[in-house]
């Protein structure tokens, strides 16, 4: 997702969102966020009509991956940021399930990968990562206490005669 769209969702301006990210740069490695170069920006603008205003922006936009979007909630600490992050994560999970369940799409992706040369390897790897099903192991929440059974001894008073 582009920084401009995330800023709209979180109810802040794009400059404030980018400043918060820059103040916490160690939380956003390249696999979480990257800045588009001029060619990438122009390509994105031609593909997505709603990004036409980016053509006149002074700075190059940042793009966030799923993990980067999740990390934004720790940087932007408003209640709205938390709610938006929950909804975005639910959307990513639904998208992954939808793509993971579509075997035909995976088969066609394999065919396309065989057809095109190595310059598209990065794209195919990213698509394959999206198609990979999530691990379904669920961990129990909470903890268990294991105690030995205690025996109670009753002290009896001696009988008076």
Predicted pLDDT at 119:
52
pLDDT bucket at 79, cuts 50 / 70 / 90: confident
Predicted pLDDT at 99:
66
Q: Which of 67, 58, 7, 12 is nearest to 34 (CA)?
A: 67
Condensed to tens digits (0 to 9), the pLDDT of residues 32-69 reads 898 888 888 888 888 877 777 777 778 888 888 888 88
Predicted pLDDT at 138:
66
Residue 59 to residue 64: CA distance in whole angstroms:
16
Predicted pLDDT at 81:
78
Percent of the chain, pLDDT > 90? 1
Average pLDDT over residues 82-102: 74
- Structure-token pair, residue 153: 């001894």
Residue 121 to residue 84: CA distance in whole angstroms:
33
Of 21-25, 50-54, 96-100, where does the model show the most confidence? 21-25
Are 114 and 124 spatial neighbours (Cβ–Cβ below 8 Å)?
no
- For the chain, the structural domain boundaries read 3-93, 101-131
E strand or H helix at 79: helix 79-100
Are 62 and 1 spatial neighbours (Cβ–Cβ below 8 Å)?
no
pTM of the model: 0.52
Residues 6+ apart with CB under 8 A from 84: 9, 10, 73
Are 7 and 17 spatial neighbours (Cβ–Cβ below 8 Å)?
yes
Residues 6+ apart with CB under 8 A from 52: 45
Question: Can you give the three-state secondary structure of 12-65, one letter per residue?
Answer: CCHHHHHHHHHHCHHHCCCCCEEECCHHHHHHHHHHCHHHHHHHHCCCCCEEEC
Condensed to tens digits (0 to 9), the pLDDT of residues 116-156 reads 655 556 666 666 676 666 666 666 666 676 777 666 666 66
Average pLDDT over residues 12-23: 88
Percent of the chain, pLDDT > 70? 67
Q: Which of 77, 69, 89, 81 is nearest to 27 (CA)?
A: 69
Predicted pLDDT at 136:
63
């Amino acid at each position: 997702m582009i920084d401009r769209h995330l800023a709209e969702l979180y109810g802040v301006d794009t400059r404030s969102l980018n400043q918060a990210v820059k103040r916490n740069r160690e939380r956003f490695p390249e696999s979480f966020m990257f800045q588009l170069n001029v060619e990438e920006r122009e390509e994105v603008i031609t593909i997505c009509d709603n990004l036409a205003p980016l053509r006149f922006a002074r700075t190059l936009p940042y793009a966030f991956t799923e993990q980067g979007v999740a990390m934004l909630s720790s940087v932007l600490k408003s209640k709205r940021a938390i709610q938006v992050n929950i909804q975005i994560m639910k959307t990513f999970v639904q998208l992954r399930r939808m793509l993971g369940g579509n075997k035909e799409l995976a088969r066609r992706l394999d065919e396309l990968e065989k057809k095109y040369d190595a310059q598209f390897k990065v794209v195919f790897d990213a698509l394959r990562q999206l198609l990979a099903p999530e691990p379904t192991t669920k961990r129990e929440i909470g903890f268990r206490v294991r105690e030995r059974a205690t025996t109670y001894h009753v002290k009896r008073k001696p009988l008076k005669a």
